[in-house]
């Protein structure tokens, strides 16, 4: 979770505590008035739980200050620009989420993407993407509009062929061996990956096992024109715009790029991974 997001959540919790104290209520009294579990007020005020919009409306009315609803909703929207749970993100289906990604990509000249455990979405085959979406929707129990999502992801890939665009990908070598799909699908995916070498708008590097690293590649991330970082965790998507955080991810990218192999060396690493599938 980003420090920017948590700081905003702490500030919102402090504001809720301030309003409760001004109303002359303790946490248990307020929870009872709202028919909430006794611990919920404490969790909200101490940034252990994020409120829903209806929670804030109920609190404002219970505390006799309905006029602060607009302020509280603004604070909540600020939180949600940084952190969006996958279940909420995918509530409208996989296709809608892919179209939102496409809108962000279309407003960006330089896209940089580092992946630790899977093939970058913009380089995925339809079959590989299909298996990824099946896993995601099953995990989060969201609408399984798999085919619509696959079609939308394939549509996103058209940006790779547009002039004036620059896409840079770094893939940690273990991702070439992660079997998130049947072996034959992975074999075709690695064949597709070797095919991007030579594309004018695509630059692909592999961070090999055994490389000397000055940073720890704990998770994948996207950089959009040094103005936005997007991170996908198991539970949520983070959108980071704070200058210090963007600079930090840019530094990590630069360090990983230094450790990566490209061109014929990267091609050989992929071919070796592909060969292991034939041996199984």
Angle between helices 3-22 and 53-62 (to 10 degrees): 20
Model confidence pLDDT, tens digit, residues 118-175: 999 999 999 999 999 999 999 989 888 999 999 999 999 999 998 889 999 999 999 9
C-beta of residue 4 within 8 angstroms of C-beta of residue 82: yes
What does the pLDDT read at residue 196? Answer: 95
What does the pLDDT read at residue 65? Answer: 94
What does the pLDDT read at residue 188? Answer: 97
Model confidence pLDDT, tens digit, residues 224-255: 999 899 998 888 888 887 788 899 999 999 99
Model confidence pLDDT, tens digit, residues 159-216: 999 888 999 999 999 999 999 999 999 999 999 999 999 899 999 999 999 999 999 9
Res. 40: pLDDT tops 70: yes
What does the pLDDT read at residue 1? Answer: 42
Mean pLDDT of the chain: 91
Go through the domains of the chain in sequence order and give each one's CATH number.
3-81 (1.10.260.40), 85-279 (3.30.870)
What does the pLDDT read at residue 225? Answer: 94
Model confidence pLDDT, tens digit, residues 9-28: 888 999 999 999 999 999 99
Rounded to a whole number of angstroms, the distance between the first and last alpha carbons of the chain is: 39
- For residue 219, the tally of other CB atoms under 10 A from its CB is 14
Q: Which phi and psi (to 5°) does residue 212 adopt?
A: -75, 120
Task: Please state the three-class secondary structure of the chain as a single string.
Answer: CCHHHHHHHHHHHHHHHHHHHHCCCCHHHHHHHHCCCHHHHHHHHCCCCCCCHHHHHHHHHHCCCHHHHHHHHHHHHHHHCCEEEHHHHCCCCHHHHHHHHHHHHHCCCEEEEEECCCCCHHHCCHHHHHHHHHHHHHHHCCCCCHHHHHHHHHHHHHHHHCCCCEEEEEEEHHHHCCCCCCHHHHHHHHHHHHCCCCCCCEEEEEECCCCCCCCCCCCCEEEECCCEEEEECCCEEEEECCHHHHHHHHHHHHHHHHHCECHHHHHHHHHHHHHHHHHC
């Amino acid at each position: 979770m980003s420090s920017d997001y948590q700081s905003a959540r702490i500030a919102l919790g402090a504001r809720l505590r301030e309003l409760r104290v001004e109303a002359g209520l303790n946490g248990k009294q307020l929870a009872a008035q709202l028919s909430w579990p006794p611990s919920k007020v404490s969790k909200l005020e101490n940034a252990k739980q994020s409120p829903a919009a209806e929670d804030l409306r109920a609190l404002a009315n219970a505390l006799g200050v309905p006029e602060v609803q607009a302020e509280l909703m603004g604070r909540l929207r600020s939180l949600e620009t940084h952190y969006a749970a996958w279940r909420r993100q995918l509530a409208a289906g996989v296709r809608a989420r892919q179209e939102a990604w496409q809108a962000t990509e279309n407003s960006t000249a330089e896209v940089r993407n580092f992946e630790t455990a899977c093939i970058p979405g913009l380089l995925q085959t339809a079959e590989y993407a299909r298996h990824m979406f099946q896993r995601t929707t099953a995990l989060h129990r969201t609408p399984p509009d798999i085919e619509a999502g696959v079609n939308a992801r394939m549509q996103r890939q058209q940006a790779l062929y547009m002039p004036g665009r620059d896409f840079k990908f770094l893939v940690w070598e273990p991702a070439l061996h992660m079997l998130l799909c049947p072996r034959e699908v992975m074999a075709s995916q690695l064949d597709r990956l070797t095919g991007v070498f030579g594309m004018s708008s695509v630059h692909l590097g592999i961070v090999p096992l055994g490389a000397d690293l000055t940073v720890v590649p704990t998770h994948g991330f996207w950089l959009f024109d040094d103005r936005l970082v997007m991170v996908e965790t198991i539970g949520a998507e983070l959108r980071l715009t704070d200058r210090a955080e963007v600079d930090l991810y840019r530094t990590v990218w630069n360090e990983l790029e230094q450790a990566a192999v490209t061109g014929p060396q990267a091609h050989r690493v992929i071919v070796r991974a592909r060969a292991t599938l034939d041996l199984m």
